[in-house]
Structure 1
Amino acid sequence: MNKDLKLRIIIGAVFGPFIFFSAIYWEWVFSVIVFLMLIYSLKEFFYLLNKMDIYHYSIYGYFFGILIFIDFLFFSGRYFFLTFLIFLLSLSPMIFIRRDKSVLKEISWTFFGTLYLSVFITAILLILVHVDNVGLQPLAGGKIASLIFVSVWFLDITAFFTGRRFGRHSFFSSISPQKTLEGAVGGFLGAVISSIIAKHVYISFLSVWGALGIGIIVGIFGQIGDLIESAIKRKAGVKDSSPIIPGHGGVLDRFDSFILSSPVCYIFVKYFLFN
């Protein structure tokens, strides 16, 4: 076992349980964790834009990212479309101020990155609040939120070790040369199986079909999220989005599978499981 892998395991063993128990028992601590994930993800995204020589409007990104976080946490997204519209309108004058042929690309990247990260990361808070409001049992929202993290972690772990041990066939090699079909299948199975096991261990109110649905969503959309981040990093010409998490890289590197899974799980939970 090499040094980087050991460090990766140690960091995961320390922070994984902390996030898990925060989601269930310490809602405000978990909210702070999600907020920090958002801020550092935005910081890393704008860093990647710098590496691609794309001018951006990071002040707008941080400001509206924080507004979306506040809206999702305290108002369940009630003012999202208003925030969305104001954000778009506030960037529009740059077309006349900058007078540069690349300004539309700059606005698009800033707008895309801010919404992608702000909405998708903080969607986990909508899940927590919605399930709690349904009134299934105490801590129900936190348990569902923690389940998504568990599924994502096992997706990443099983994809990594399955690909390392059995990987023979390239999978989207133009985006990520180390990805293999065997690793993708192993990751998918890891997400599904871990979700079903977690249901039986500590989420008795969740049906088997519900656990299966969450596992499938994470198994598919988690890997799409990983590929999206890999494509952006490849375009930027960097291996990691930042070195902030020893052994893991940046926040985007560690939570890329979570970012796209979270909003899809929210739709599934709200409209199909607990409507």
Structure 2
Amino acid sequence: MNESTWGPAPATGQAPVGPPTPPQKKRAGRDLRAAVGVGVGLGGTALAVLFVYRPAFLVVIAAAVVVGLWELSTRLVERKQIRVPLPPLAVGGVATVVAGYLQGADGAWTAMALTVLATLLWRMFSAPEDYLRDVTAGVFAAFYVPFLASFVALLLAADDGHRRVLVFILLTVVSDTGAYAVGWRFGRRKLAPRISPGKTVEGLAGAVFFAALAGALSMLWLIDGGTWWQGVLLGLGVAVSATLGDLGESMIKRDLGIKDMGSLLPGHGGIMDRLDSLLPTAPVVWLLLAVFVGAD
């Protein structure tokens, strides 16, 4: 027996020491089969609605906003006893999305201002204790979910809105998938261990590379007047915003002491667990496309 390989020889009368247990292969923390099935089903349905009748996609956005607000408000009251005024947020959130589609950025801003005002007034009909805490959380929820989602409606409202929304979704998914695949296989250096231990520098590099490649191809094939270098910049912006969005929600979940925002989607968690990278990416894609090829 080679002592340097197996360790010191056992003492007389002791059972022989066997070879060390080989390291276990990395495994994903979720049911990958369920996650892929649900993701493909949701994505296929959303894209079918988008390309069959574009205005109907507003229903998809509005439904995601309402469910996302419900999940967030439920977790806040469960874990922190923060009571967010949900009815005005839900109604105002839908109004913000619709106003963004019909009236542009000015409409979205106006609806958001009215939503914040309604949130402040609604909470006044309850006890004054913790009023400031509750309405502050309500204003945060209004900007975090419906306001950021309204930029998807702004993308949709353009003449080629169905293709812009497709690019937005495609690049976000490619960024997340690239980060997961490269980080799972090659990840060594932690990106933000105190916030999300699973995120690695190598994963971020994978997100940047694949999102930039997908961005270059998307701008050439899907956006009229787009160039490959604009797509590279677009992909870079998406990779950064998607990663920051994921880290931002991880910070919220760590503060709340939960793993997922909900359990609606098998293998994924809740709606907010899927919107974490999409929401902050929407304004980035809208702004860069407006600069590169115009808002309309």
TM-score normalized with structure 2 length: 0.82
Identity of aligned residues (%): 24
**Which of 175, 185, 192 lines up with 1:172 in the alignment?**
192
Identify the residue that residue 23 of structure 1 maps to in structure 2.
50
SS for the counterpart of 2:192 is coil
Q: Is the 8 A contact 2:116 2:142 kept in 1?
A: no
Identify the residue that residue 128 of structure 2 maps to in structure 1.
99
Q: Is the 8 A contact 1:128 1:144 kept in 2?
A: yes
Whether 1:249 aligns to 2:269 is yes
Q: Is the 8 A contact 2:226 2:292 kept in 1?
A: no
Alignment RMSD: 2.2
SS for the counterpart of 2:265 is coil
> How far apart are the structure 2 equivalents of 1:15 and 1:36?
13
SS for the counterpart of 2:198 is coil
Higher relative contact order (CA 8 A, sep 6+): 1
Identify the residue that residue 116 of structure 2 maps to in structure 1.
88
Q: Aligned residues, how many?
A: 266
SS for the counterpart of 1:247 is coil
Q: Is the 8 A contact 2:98 2:153 kept in 1?
A: no
Pair member with larger Rg: 2
Equivalent runs, 1:88-237 vs 2, <5 Å: 88-93=116-121, 94=123, 98-100=127-129, 102-130=130-158, 132=159, 140-203=160-223, 205-237=225-257
> How far apart are the structure 2 equivalents of 1:246 and 1:174?
26
Moved more, 161-170 or 16-25: 16-25
Shift in alpha-carbon separation, 1:177–1:108, aligned structure 2, 3 A: same
Shift in alpha-carbon separation, 1:149–1:91, aligned structure 2, 3 A: closer
Identify the residue that residue 137 of structure 1 maps to in structure 2.
none
> How far apart are the structure 2 equivalents of 1:195 and 1:188?
10
Deviation per residue, 1:42-71 (Å, 9 max, x gap): 111112212222122112211211221221
Moved more, 215-224 or 87-96: 87-96
Q: Is the 8 A contact 1:184 1:223 kept in 2?
A: yes
- Give the gaps of 5 or more residues in structure 1: 133-139
- Give the gaps of 5 or more residues in structure 2: 1-26
SS for the counterpart of 1:243 is coil
